[in-house]
């Protein structure tokens, strides 16, 4: 048990996603178990580039292949993703096991191979969250309706406060989201990935430029699990203060 006092409800969950293969398309969820290592099955696979074997960041990502969002991975057994085979549907509709060399071949030249890790292959922290209000406000700033998948969150929250960027003030706090608890560690520093349209793979540099100029390069928040549990759509997001 934890010793804490609720500050109050700050929002509700309106979207949940995991990304079985790093930089590939999202798998939308109605509910998911959350462990110390993030969402079950999140970013458990990645493609490693053979031309940079000694790099500290050898992964093939959207930075190199803007169309990776169009590849759709899923688990044969979605309730037991860490024990399940992983299938990837390509933009042409062909389905491959993630380990099939033919899938690696479709991703481009070079010695590519799929790599699996037990803890997830994260750039920083295992959990990411953003509010609907922040995405809407950024869209207003650049005059474009923005798909949430540009920002690749695990959790989309409709904040109780209609003001945008409310999640910035949650840094350093503990959030109880459904049945799990998350420490908000830092704001989410953004890169060129958010310029890529997840449906067309076209780039719009104005999006990153606006985030850099008006938001200090950050949008949304990163966090870590402090109490595992299960989360579902429509769950409340409660801010806690430790006592």
pLDDT tens digits along 56-109:
678 889 998 999 999 999 999 998 998 899 999 999 999 999 999 999 999 975
Task: Spell out the domains of the chain, with CATH numbers in brackets.
Answer: 4-242 (2.40.33.20)
Say yes or no to pLDDT of 110 above 80: no
pLDDT band at 243 (very low <50, low <70, confident <90, very high): very low
pLDDT for 55: 62
Backbone torsions φ then ψ of 187, nearest 5 degrees: -70, 155
Would you say 171 and 185 are in contact if contact means Cβ atoms under 8 Å apart? yes
**Residues 6+ away with beta carbon under 8 Å from 13:** 155, 156, 157, 177, 178, 231, 232, 233, 234, 235, 236, 237
Mean per-residue pLDDT, 118-143 = 94
Q: Count how many Cα atoms sit within 13 Å of the Cα of residue 111 in the half-sphere of its side chain.
A: 5
pLDDT for 56: 67
First-to-final CA distance of the chain: 13
pLDDT band at 3 (very low <50, low <70, confident <90, very high): very low
pLDDT for 89: 97
Q: Which residue has the tokens 């099955």?
A: 41
Say yes or no to pLDDT of 1 above 50: no
Q: Which of 46-55, 62-71, 135-144 has the lowest mean pLDDT?
A: 46-55
């Amino acid at each position: 048990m934890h010793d804490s006092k609720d500050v109050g409800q700050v929002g509700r969950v309106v979207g949940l996603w995991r990304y079985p293969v790093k930089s590939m398309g999202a798998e939308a969820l109605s509910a998911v178990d959350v462990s110390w290592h993030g969402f079950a099955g999140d970013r458990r696979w990645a493609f490693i580039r053979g031309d940079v074997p000694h790099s500290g960041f050898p992964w093939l990502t959207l930075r190199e292949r803007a169309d990776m969002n169009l590849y759709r991975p899923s688990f044969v057994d979605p309730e037991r993703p860490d024990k399940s085979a992983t299938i990837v549907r390509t933009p042409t509709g062909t389905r491959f096991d993630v380990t099939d060399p033919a899938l690696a071949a479709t991703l481009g030249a070079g010695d590519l191979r799929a790599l699996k890790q037990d803890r997830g292959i994260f750039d920083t922290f295992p959990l990411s969250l953003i509010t609907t209000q922040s995405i809407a406000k950024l869209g207003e700033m650049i005059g474009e309706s923005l798909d949430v998948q540009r920002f690749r969150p695990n959790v989309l929250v409709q904040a109780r406060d209609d003001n945008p960027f409310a999640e910035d003030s949650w840094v350093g706090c503990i959030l109880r989201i459904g049945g799990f608890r998350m420490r908000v560690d830092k704001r989410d520093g953004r890169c060129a990935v958010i310029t890529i349209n997840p449906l067309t793979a076209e780039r719009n540099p104005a999006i990153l430029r606006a985030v850099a100029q008006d938001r200090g390069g950050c949008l949304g928040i990163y966090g870590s699990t402090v109490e595992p549990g299960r989360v579902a759509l429509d769950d409340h997001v409660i801010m806690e203060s430790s006592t």
